Structure 1
Amino acid sequence: MKSLSVVFPLAAIFVCVGAIYPFWVGILLNVIGLSVCFTVPYLVGRISGGDIMRVIEMKYPKARKLVNYGHDNNLFASYISRAVVVVPGDLVSMIHGALRMPYRPYLLGSIMGVMPEMLVQTYIGAQLKHLTIKSVLVMIALIAATLAFSLILNKKVSRSGKQMDKEDF
């Protein structure tokens, strides 16, 4: 169901899985779930092809940059499109499918892009059962590290995007 729901947050699923299952089992289940979650809209995009691309590009003009990144490096494009959220994730999957991006680099890059967030949120869910000062401090540190990583990545991508825009003109 999540695969075709643009508005339902993955974070809620990650935390719930972490709260229900042991941490390492939760990680495994979340990776399996992400694989399904990324595959269904990818296949929708692959089957729909160019028609869905036109609709997505009209509604989300930033999707064009994602398309340009995707032609150069499939693994990096799928990674960066998950790590730096510019277009909703399900639409990202449809775009990559419509572009006929090879499935393996797409899936691997997508999972790698979501992995830091998923690990932190699964850990938070696992710690909800027995909160201690130590677990709260670890959660704060993990959230801060993930936030810092995201901000650095966003800056880097923004700078390279501006350079690309200048070169395009």
Structure 2
Amino acid sequence: MKLNREKMTKGATRLFQIVPIVLLVAVIILCSSLVGRVSVADILNFAPSSYPLAALALVGIYAVKSMSVFFPLLVLYVSAGTLFSPWWAILVNLVGLFVCVSIPYWLGRLSGRGLTEKLFKKYKKAEEIKRFNLENQWFICYILRVINLLPGDIVSLLLGSMGIGYKNYLLGSLAGLLPTMLAATFLGSTILTPTSPGFLCSAAATVVISVLSILLYRRMQKKWKNHETSSK
């Protein structure tokens, strides 16, 4: 009798870990079929004329985006900047990012280490995360948002499945995403006047942040290789 109970407990635990993965796959398939490639124009056409409803709609799109790698966050940043005044756009984008990074994190957290191994096998670049100091959780979450090692939604799933603390994860993720979000939001707020200094500065800032991210990633790769060579 005791043995049967242990088997039932193990089976329930296993089912509890598998269900989020199955739901995740189903949601990704659904999002890919319904969303496809979304542009700023698509979102502007979809957004209600009421500002509160438009804000709710945009946050809803952030939720959908959290389970889809088929369009970049940049589209949502610029859309918010176009729809709202700059400060309201920043607030809406912050709420959207909170939703966007939280949903896949908790799905990954529920799935556990089994999902971690699956993601390491599927995404070869994910192996580079093992080179980080895992004790500095905030920095891992921050730097993975800055260097664009993997799609953001995959990063969220992976960090959640690795058991990274939610507070460190959330603060690190938002800090890493904030510079690009601010630049793209102001870009959206001046998009109707492409020759204005505000638009040109925002566009330049967006490009500079992207270039710096690439250079930082390459520098870290070089540092890792030098460290591995010296340790042999």
Q: TM-score by structure 1 length?
A: 0.90
The answer to whether the 8 Å contact 1:34/1:111 transfers is: yes
Distance in 2 (CA, whole Å) between partners of 1:168 and 1:47 is 37
How far has the Cα of 1:14 moved from its partner?
0.5
How far has the Cα of 1:131 moved from its partner?
3.8
Distance in 2 (CA, whole Å) between partners of 1:107 and 1:163 is 31
Aligned pair partner of 1:115 in 178, 183, 187? 178
State the match for 2:103 in structure 1: 40
How far has the Cα of 1:65 moved from its partner?
1.9
How far has the Cα of 1:68 moved from its partner?
4.2
Identify if the C-alpha distance between structure 1 residues 167 and 98 changes in structure 2 by more than 3 Å, giving closer, same or farther.
farther
Identify if the C-alpha distance between structure 1 residues 20 and 70 changes in structure 2 by more than 3 Å, giving closer, same or farther.
farther
State the match for 1:26 in structure 2: 89
How far has the Cα of 1:136 moved from its partner?
3.5
State the match for 1:105 in structure 2: 168
User: Would you say how many aligned residue pairs link Structure 1 and Structure 2?
Assistant: 169
State the match for 1:88 in structure 2: 151
The answer to whether the 8 Å contact 2:131/2:224 transfers is: no
Identify if the C-alpha distance between structure 1 residues 154 and 135 changes in structure 2 by more than 3 Å, giving closer, same or farther.
same
Distance in 2 (CA, whole Å) between partners of 1:127 and 1:100 is 41
How far has the Cα of 1:43 moved from its partner?
0.4
State the match for 2:13 in structure 1: none
Moved more, 59-68 or 82-91: 59-68
State the match for 2:129 in structure 1: 66
How far has the Cα of 1:108 moved from its partner?
0.8
Structure showing greater Rg: 2
Larger RCO: 1 or 2 (CA < 8 Å, sep 6+): 1
Distance in 2 (CA, whole Å) between partners of 1:151 and 1:60 is 19
The answer to whether the 8 Å contact 1:70/1:96 transfers is: no
How far has the Cα of 1:144 moved from its partner?
4.2
Structure 1: segments with no counterpart, 5+ residues: none
The answer to whether the 8 Å contact 1:70/1:78 transfers is: no
Q: Which amino acid aligns with 2:115?
A: I
Question: Root-mean-square deviation (CA), in Å?
Answer: 1.9
Distance in 1 (CA, whole Å) between partners of 2:206 and 2:187 is 10
Distance in 1 (CA, whole Å) between partners of 2:131 and 2:228 is 11
Q: TM-score by structure 2 length?
A: 0.67
Identify if the C-alpha distance between structure 1 residues 100 and 167 changes in structure 2 by more than 3 Å, giving closer, same or farther.
farther
> Any runs of at least 4 consecutive aligned residues in structure 1 with deviations exceeding 4 A, and if so which?
none
Answering whether residue 215 of structure 2 is matched by residue 159 of structure 1, we say no
Q: Which amino acid aligns with 1:157?
A: M
Moved more, 85-94 or 138-147: 138-147
Distance in 1 (CA, whole Å) between partners of 2:167 and 2:230 is 31
How far has the Cα of 1:26 moved from its partner?
0.9
Distance in 2 (CA, whole Å) between partners of 1:34 and 1:22 is 18
Answering whether residue 67 of structure 2 is matched by residue 4 of structure 1, we say yes
Structure 2: segments with no counterpart, 5+ residues: 1-63
